[in-house]
């Protein structure tokens, strides 16, 4: 009987020790579970931030038509940035040709030559512009602001381009008015307080032009945009043109 009691006593001690080890492991198990839940929540949140949504065009009437891109700007901009019009016109032509089905673009050099040979072209009636250019549609980009710095501070980079973008239909109901028009504003870079030693003028101007051309072209074809623009990280989707 004594032997049996000792065996039972030893069994009870080992059982208690096992229970104690299990109990002691519970907090760490709970901690690991909680960390897993936090990690899963963070991953879900990051996934939400990277979501893209399909955005329809604001105007889809460029398909199967001949199109000219006309760019205008104030005289001071034409003097300080003489290549600005050509960069915008060429960039828009390239993106529209790539993304708008069956579009037939008038070459920017031909449009520019017409502008040079018609000094008062921007005073003409809209319908007359389309007639003289010989196209079905004119995308008129009237740049009102283009700057690389905050006003009065040339030590920081703060690019901003703002323009009115309108469409002229040669065969429209009212050929002397825009069939539709929008204000497009682009900013570059996204960082605030970037000083002039951190980037070159060429980098800032190139980035600003690229952003403006992209936003303007988005008016005319279905595209993807971030669902949460302020949270989206483009580095995680380097192959997407956003």
Which residues does residue 186 pair with via DSSP β-bridges, in sequence order?
161
The span from the CA of 59 to the CA of 231, in Å, is 28
Dihedral of CA 127/133/136/140: which sign? negative
The span from the CA of 151 to the CA of 169, in Å, is 37
Mean pLDDT (whole number) for 161-180: 93
The span from the CA of 49 to the CA of 76, in Å, is 41
pLDDT band at 40 (very low <50, low <70, confident <90, very high): low
Phi, psi of 104 (to 5 degrees): -120, 105
Question: Mean pLDDT, the chain, as a whole number?
Answer: 85
226: phi > 0 → left, psi -120 to 50 → alpha, else beta; which?
A: beta
Which residues does residue 159 pair with via DSSP β-bridges, in sequence order?
188
pLDDT band at 225 (very low <50, low <70, confident <90, very high): confident
Q: Is the pLDDT of residue 1 over 90?
A: no
CATH architecture of the domain with range 55-222: 3-Layer(aba) Sandwich (3.40)
What local confidence, expressed as pLDDT, does residue 48 receive?
A: 76
Q: Is the pLDDT of residue 28 over 90?
A: no
pLDDT band at 3 (very low <50, low <70, confident <90, very high): very low
Higher pLDDT, 148 or 20: 148
Q: Inter-axis angle of helices 84-99 and 201-217, to 10 degrees?
A: 40
Secondary structure element (H or E) that encloses residue 53, with its range = strand 52-55
Q: Is the pLDDT of residue 13 over 60?
A: no
210: phi > 0 → left, psi -120 to 50 → alpha, else beta; which?
A: alpha
Mean pLDDT (whole number) for 170-188: 92
Higher pLDDT, 241 or 157: 157
pTM recorded for the entire structure: 0.78
What local confidence, expressed as pLDDT, does residue 226 receive?
A: 87
Phi, psi of 175 (to 5 degrees): -70, -15
Q: How many CB atoms lie within 10 A of CB 138?
A: 23
Q: Is the pLDDT of residue 21 over 80?
A: no
pLDDT band at 231 (very low <50, low <70, confident <90, very high): confident
pLDDT digits (tens, 9 = 90+) for 105-158: 999 999 999 999 998 999 999 999 999 999 999 999 999 999 999 988 989 999
Mean pLDDT (whole number) for 89-115: 96
The span from the CA of 52 to the CA of 242, in Å, is 10
Mean pLDDT (whole number) for 202-223: 97
Residue ranges per structural domain of the chain: 2-49, 55-222
């Amino acid at each position: 009987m004594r032997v049996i009691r000792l065996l039972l006593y030893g069994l009870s001690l080992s059982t208690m020790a096992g229970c104690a080890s299990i109990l002691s492991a519970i907090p760490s198990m709970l901690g690991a579970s909680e960390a897993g839940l936090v990690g899963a929540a963070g991953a879900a949140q990051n996934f939400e931030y990277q979501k893209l949504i399909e955005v329809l065009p604001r105007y889809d009437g460029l398909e199967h038509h001949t199109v000219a891109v006309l760019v205008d700007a104030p005289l001071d901009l034409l003097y300080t940035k003489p290549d600005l019009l050509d960069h915008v016109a060429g960039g828009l032509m390239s993106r529209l040709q790539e993304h708008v089905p069956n579009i037939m673009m008038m070459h920017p050099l031909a449009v520019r030559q017409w502008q040079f040979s018609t000094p008062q072209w921007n005073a003409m009636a809209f319908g007359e512009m389309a007639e003289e250019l010989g196209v079905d549609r004119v995308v008129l980009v009237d740049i009102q602001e283009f700057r690389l710095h905050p006003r009065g501070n040339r030590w920081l980079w703060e690019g901003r381009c703002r323009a009115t973008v309108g469409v002229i239909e040669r065969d429209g109901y009212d050929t002397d008015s825009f069939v539709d028009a929008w204000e497009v504003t682009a900013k570059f870079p996204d960082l605030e307080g970037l000083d002039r030693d951190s980037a070159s003028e060429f980098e800032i101007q190139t980035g600003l032009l690229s952003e403006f051309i992209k936003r303007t072209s988005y008016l005319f074809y279905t595209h993807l945009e971030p669902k949460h623009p302020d949270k989206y990280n483009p580095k995680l989707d380097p192959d997407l043109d956003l």
